[in-house]
Amino acid sequence: MTNILVVIEISKGKIMGITKECLTVAKKLSDHLGADIEGVILGQNISDLAIEATKYGVKKIYKVDDALFAGVNILYHTRTLEALINEVNPSIVIAGASLYGQEVIPRLAARLGSALFASVTDISVDGDNLIGIHPLFEEKLFGTMSASKTQLNFITILGGNNPEVELDESLTGDISDFSPAISDNDKREAFIEEKIAKVSVDITKAKLIVAGGRGVGNKEKYAVIFEAAKTLGGEVGASRAAVDADWVPYDHEVGQTGKTITPDIYIACGISGAIQHIVGMRNSKTIIAVNTDEEAPILDVAHYAIIADLHEVLPELLKKV
């Protein structure tokens, strides 16, 4: 019998939706492989959540209930999950491709010398292999990964691609305690309090964005971007170069590692148009580029271009408002 171990992620006292999606994937695999679904849940005062997990079809839950797990300490989780996996010997370990899953699961795969299907939307069985689908470039491409199902495989599932498993009150399962595998040497950090970072601005809702890049020049000069956005009744966007230079906070970053936005008007000032920026703003309804370089790639996606110094164009524009 090969068992599938699902790492049950909790947030604010609830089992997360991504875990319920993982359980749907686990159920599909268990039907193919004739495997039981087991789960591991780590936290403090989590007995009710362990019981709830059995109602999603988890036959056996390993519960790590300890004050050391009140917050998420990646080292504690990694050490304890590694010890559990060595003891219960699952054939597949599944977790969400959440911040947590992306921290813990690759560490486990590396420590145990196992295959990792990272951030897949789907996983299926084909003969002796597992096949995973991993989207790339905002789902413009799909990579296929494969690994033998006869070895230990780790899988992280991207949220929003599978239905959440339904709760079935009639289901039951075994719950057993598992002790944290933490040595005194590991106790380098203490959990104090969970705080949600304050977001200064949500640019995803803005109808008009004036964005500035490295071409703005420096932090003092970046004031013109804030002034233009304010005068035109919009928000400020930024390229990563401007954020990295500390001219503008990260909440304003547009692109692959920033926000994806679709405003009615996007005015890109001194932004070259690297692909990592374009993927975040290309669906803006009207794109206006202000750039001194008539060959800048941003012009490929711009509807209108002004080939000029932004420090001449923006003041002129603002005079007209």
Q: Quick one: which segment of 78-86, 172-180, 224-232, 237-245 binds ligand FAD (CB under 6 A)?
A: 237-245
What is the SS3 assignment for 188? coil
Contact status: 270 vs ligand FAD (CB under 6 A)? yes
> Going by DSSP bridges, is the β-strand pair 122-126/129-136 parallel, antiparallel, or unpaired?
antiparallel
Choose, by CB under 6 A, the member of 291, 302, 314, 317 that binds ligand FAD: 291
> Least separation, in Å, of the C-beta of 270 and ligand FAD?
4
Q: Which C-beta is closer to ligand FAD: that of 63 or that of 277?
A: 277
Q: Report residue 20: phi and psi, to 5°.
A: -65, -30
256 to 39, 246, 253: CA distances (angstroms)? 33, 18, 9
Nearest CA to 281 among 311, 260, 309, 253? 260
Contact status: 221 vs ligand FAD (CB under 6 A)? no
Q: Quick one: which segment of 5-13, 67-75, 185-193, 269-277 binds ligand FAD (CB under 6 A)?
A: 269-277
> Least separation, in Å, of the C-beta of 103 and ligand FAD?
18
Q: Which two tokens stand for residue 181?
A: 């595998």
81 to 4, 90, 133: CA distances (angstroms)? 14, 12, 25
Number of residues lying near ligand FAD (CB under 6 A):
28
Choose, by CB under 6 A, the member of 213, 234, 237, 263 that binds ligand FAD: 213
Contact status: 257 vs ligand FAD (CB under 6 A)? yes
- Residue 252: burial class (beta carbons within 10 Å; 0-12, 13-18, 19+): buried
What is the SS3 assignment for 101? helix
Q: Which C-beta is closer to ligand FAD: that of 4 or that of 242?
A: 242
* C-alpha to C-alpha distance for 107 and 87, rounded to whole angstroms: 18
Q: Quick one: which segment of 27-35, 162-170, 198-206, 234-242 binds ligand FAD (CB under 6 A)?
A: 234-242
Which chain residues interact with ligand FAD by CB under 6 A? 213-215, 239-242, 253-258, 270-272, 274, 276-277, 280, 290-293, 296, 309-311
